[in-house]
Amino acid sequence: MLVTLFRFLSLLPLSVLHFTGSVLGWLVYLLSGSYRRRLQENLGRAGFSQHLRVAVQEAGKNVLELPFIWCARPERVLKTAEMENWELVQQALDQKKGVIFLTPHLGCFEIVAQKIAARTRLTVLYRPPRKEALKPLIEGARARDNLLLAPTNLSGVRIMAKALKKGEAIGLLPDQVPQQGEGVWARFFGKPAYTMTLSAKLHSMTGSPIILTYAERLPGGRGYVVRFVAFDEELGEDAVTQAEAINRAMEKLIARSPAQYFWSYNRYKTPQGVAGPDAVQPEQS
């Protein structure tokens, strides 16, 4: 049923999906108290409360564009997005050290990997969805030509390290809450958030340059612009310092288009089996 619905929605124009998504965003915001509180709290903590109304609409667009991104013909999807500053990526690829793309939950993050893979081979870390019905949709969309999936375990880490050593590119969601033992507590918009350490580890292992990227959603359903930004933070030596440097870079990126960040995401949750931020050493608080 869900697959059929997604395939039907994928036939609609992106402008229709985005308009309907805006309405859906307001419905969810008004009907769900927990969703509303989290959205308000996270926007307020980051200093972006003035973007609340637009953020509500953008969150709805994010949901209803997924059938299009996952189920529409690849050539139709790719035509909706332009790329800005690809020269930065090409210069990094020319170094033959591989490239680490960091893509937060900003704008249409699902289209970023497809656009990159249209230019160069890309391996992305993939965690299967909790809803089994979504699995064939997501895997079908992500596992396309030049786009490879690596599992979120030690085997996946080895696959990504091997890709970098061959001079290829990999992609990670740096603001996705990692599983037990795969992160540290680091400040994100002023509050401790359990943050992955993998990107910094891979950079230390391979010397691969880090590039930030996101797809800004254009108004009126006109498509997207995939932007590439140089990573200019000093990573430091220890895991906490590195995680906080990456979080600072994410904060700067989000500030470019704050209404399009996935503010309803439970970024500050404590994963099962992980000691909370108040229980760790002072340097991780």
Per residue of the chain (285 residues), give pLDDT as tens: 788 898 999 999 999 999 999 999 999 999 999 999 999 999 999 999 999 999 999 999 999 999 999 999 999 999 999 999 999 999 999 999 999 999 999 999 999 999 999 999 999 988 776 666 666 776 666 667 789 999 888 899 999 999 999 999 999 999 999 987 789 999 999 999 999 999 999 999 999 999 999 999 999 999 999 999 999 999 988 999 999 999 999 999 999 999 999 999 999 999 988 998 886 555 444
Q: Three-state SS for 74?
A: helix
Residues 6+ apart with CB under 8 A from 239: 184, 197, 200
Kindly state the DSSP code that residue 262 receives in the 8-state scheme. -
Question: How many residues are recorded in the chain?
Answer: 285
CA dist 74 and 9 (Å) reads: 15
Residue 175: how many CA atoms within 13 Å on its side-chain side?
Answer: 26
Residues 6+ apart with CB under 8 A from 258: 43, 46, 48, 51, 55
pLDDT at residue 283, as a whole number: 46
For the chain, the domains span 80-270
pLDDT at residue 280, as a whole number: 58
Per-residue CA distances from 212 to 11, 79, 224, 247, 251 (Å): 31, 22, 16, 12, 11
H-run or E-run covering 187: strand 183-188
CA dist 116 and 101 (Å) reads: 10
Question: What are phi and psi for residue 233, nearest 5 degrees?
Answer: -90, 150
Tell me the chain's radius of gyration from C-alpha atoms: 18
Helices (H), the chain: 2-9, 14-31, 33-46, 52-64, 66-71, 74-79, 86-93, 109-117, 135-142, 154-165, 198-206, 239-256
pLDDT at residue 22, as a whole number: 98
CATH 3.40.1130.10 fits domain 80-270:
yes
What is the phi-psi region of residue 151: left when phi exceeds 0, alpha when psi lies from -120 to 50, beta otherwise?
beta
CA dist 118 and 247 (Å) reads: 28
Is residue 117 within 8 A of residue 147, CB to CB? The reply is yes
Give residue-wise pLDDT tens across range 122-173. Answer: 999 887 766 666 667 766 666 677 899 998 888 999 999 999 999 999 999 9
